[in-house]
Structure 1
Amino acid sequence: MPIARILGTRGFFVFSSKQSYDRFKETNFNISVLDSEGVGVPFLHIVRNYNVIGHLTGSSPDFHIYKYVLQKAEDPPLYSESKVICEDKAFRLCKIPYCEIYSHLNFLKTKYDFFYPSGTQFHKKYQVVKQNNFRDLDTYLDGLHFHWHVKFYSDHYRLMYFNEYDLGSSNDARAKRKQSDAPDIDIVVGHYTKRFSNFIPRSISKCSELVIGEQSRPDSLGISSVPVLTETFACQGALIHYLEHIEEKNRK
């Protein structure tokens, strides 16, 4: 899933596949030609919110994530706040407010609350935690522990699933786990990397890439077929990219 910046546009765009990103470039950003899979259009758009007073009071999110949604032309609009980007006789492409990210900083860690006001996401609300002296991030989804790990002086994050029970598990469940013969194996289920980014600025530049290991249909390349868990990790990957971007600007 390429993450790209478009000249003259704030924030960063996440694409559902390399093929979709390539078609978007080939059409010179013309997304008026739509197909049933939504190939050739962005999937997510993350934008930083600069409302200083809102940040101090906690009433405004630090980041907004918008989602591009493909509908049939005869379907009613999804939400009152949806913005119609383009439509033809068969399809309508809308952009909806999808995710709000609130940050809470203390002496030891920064907590990022992901909130999905539209109610379309399976995980309505969850938290990602970053230790202030490190770049790694941790989150629990349905009691499962996922960890974004990056080595010092590297821009390659590995998304790992820790085969463990979280602190919310019952004592009996943890005891049974310890008595069982099942090994505690940490599994890599995704990656974030800048390895394939464009070093020379262009009208559209690929800044980084997300690879998520969730299974999907072999022909699912557009925004209409992104698996549920992949959507969740794509939002986290978009945040990671923005944090890396901010850190890079601060070093200059």
Structure 2
Amino acid sequence: MVGLRKLLAIEKDFEISSRADDILGQFKVNRKRNMPIVKYWGTEGYFMFPSENSYDVYRQNGNEVGRLEGDGVGIPLLHICFEFPTLGNSVGNSPSLMVWKYVLVAVGEGPPLIYHEIVKQGSKWWLYRVPFCEIYRHWSFNHREYRFTFPYDKFPTTNCTLKRTVANRDLYTYMGETSMRWHVPMPLLIDTDQYTLQILDQSVPNLLDDSTTAKHKRRLKTDRKSIEIARYTRADRDFMPHRTSKRANLHVGEWSNAVAYGIQEVPWTTQVLACQGLLIHYIEHQRRESSSMKDGSRAARRNQLNTQVNLFR
């Protein structure tokens, strides 16, 4: 099976389109960002770094945040976990998962105006951890939904939803008016854990469409292919356990400063897609755990998993 996978197109390098007639607005591209998803030994959840360069600096500092610099290199950008702020903005049902963000603030500017935790203090910069994104799950008989809200950030945005069918792992979403899909290539032939984020052509229905819109899209004819703008993959993960282990990578096409490797200049759209990529990683982790728990020796791990919010089934 490994040999077969190497021959398939899904193993090709991640490529993005930068043609202006293909991608407009928030998805215009001038660079590809590679964001490692990392597990800290003994720490719940997963961390995401803004670049491989930043993760390398973190490891060179002994798996710790070193001297605080204005570019924010060597610092994780996001942390997804089941930990929630003691004072939140949510009303009603509690979120299933929380994404925290690390922010640098210059000395003298004062702390963030929302709930925050001090991570490290420097002579010129202070590092804070603040709540960023709440993720809610919604189950129906045929569908699974994951709703993302950003109640803590001042950036104007429309909350987004990922939706899939019970029988398929593809996740459909909208960002603004753009119809998109996290697609699993050839899921019936290969148990792959790779997702590609595609901007869908106007003729492709979205699970979030109403019946009238979906019917109209099916009538349209076009030869235009879906455009790939991001990819989640575990191909470059660490296979041996370490104190800090890379578990996956999220590759995202974006428009930004090509030499910005730290947490300070990550575009808003990339941050939103990073939250989606972290959720996908959690879903895939639970899917693998569920499929591997077939004998009694796994009973303890199964019980531990069931104490968390199940995101896959």
TM tier relative to shorter chain: 0.7 to 0.9
Q: Does 2:60 correspond to 1:22? A: no
1:163 counterpart = 2:201? yes
> Alignment partner for residue 187 of structure 1, among 206, 227, 231?
227
Tell me the equivalent position of 2:9: none
Q: TM-score, normalised by structure 2?
A: 0.71
2:242 is the alignment partner of 1:208: no
SS of equivalent residue, structure 2 residue 153: coil
Q: RMSD across aligned C-alpha pairs, in angstroms?
A: 2.3
Q: Partner of 1:154: helix, strand, or coil?
A: coil
- The one-letter code matched in structure 2 to 1:24 is Y
- 1:29: Cα distance to partner? 2.5
The DSSP-based 3-state class of the residue aligned with 2:198 is strand
* Cα shift readout 1:96-131 (whole Å, capped 9, x = no counterpart): 011010000011111111011203344241111121
Q: Which residue of 1 is the match for residue 279 of structure 2?
A: 239
- Alpha-carbon separation, structure 1, partners of 2:288 and 2:233: 15
The runs of 4+ residues in structure 1 deviating greater than 6 Å are none
Higher percent of residues as strand: 1
Q: When the two structures are superposed, what TM-score results if normalisation uses the length of structure 1?
A: 0.88
Percent of aligned positions that are identical: 32
What CA deviation, in whole Å up to 9, does each residue of 1:148-192 have, x standing for no partner?
Answer: 001311111111001328758x99xx89xx69xx86331000100
1:133 to 141, 157, 167: 167
**Which residue of 92, 96, 102 corresponds with 2:130?**
96
Secondary structure, in 3 states, of the residue corresponding to 1:224?
Answer: coil
Give the whole-Å Cα distance in 2 for the aligned partners of 1:49 and 1:222.
24
Residue 33 of structure 1 corresponds to which residue in structure 2? 67
CA distance in 1, matches of 2:281, 2:153: 24
**How many Å separate the matches in 1 of 2:68 and 2:157?**
29
Report the residue type matching 1:222 in the other structure: G
User: 1:227 and 2:227 equivalent?
Assistant: no
> Structure 1: which 5+ runs fail to align?
51-57
For residues 155 and 237 of structure 1, the distance between their equivalents in structure 2, rounded to whole angstroms, comes to: 12
Q: What pairs up with 1:5-154 in 2 under 5 angstroms?
A: 5-48=39-82, 59-151=93-185, 152=187, 153-154=191-192
State the one-letter code of the partner of 1:186. Answer: S
Deviation at 1:49, TM superposition (A): 6.0
Q: Which deviates more from structure 2 when the two are superposed, residues 134-143 or residues 115-124?
A: 115-124
Unaligned runs of 5+ in 2: 1-34, 85-91, 293-313
User: Is 1:197 paired with 2:237?
Assistant: yes
Q: 1:118 to 1:124 in 2, by over 3 A?
A: farther
Question: 1:48 deviation in Å?
Answer: 3.0
Give the conservation status (yes or no) of the 8 Å contact 1:11–1:47.
yes
Matched-pair contact (CA < 8 Å) for 1:70–1:92: yes
SS of structure 2 residue aligned to 1:23: helix
Cα distance in 1 for partners of 2:262, 2:146 equals: 28
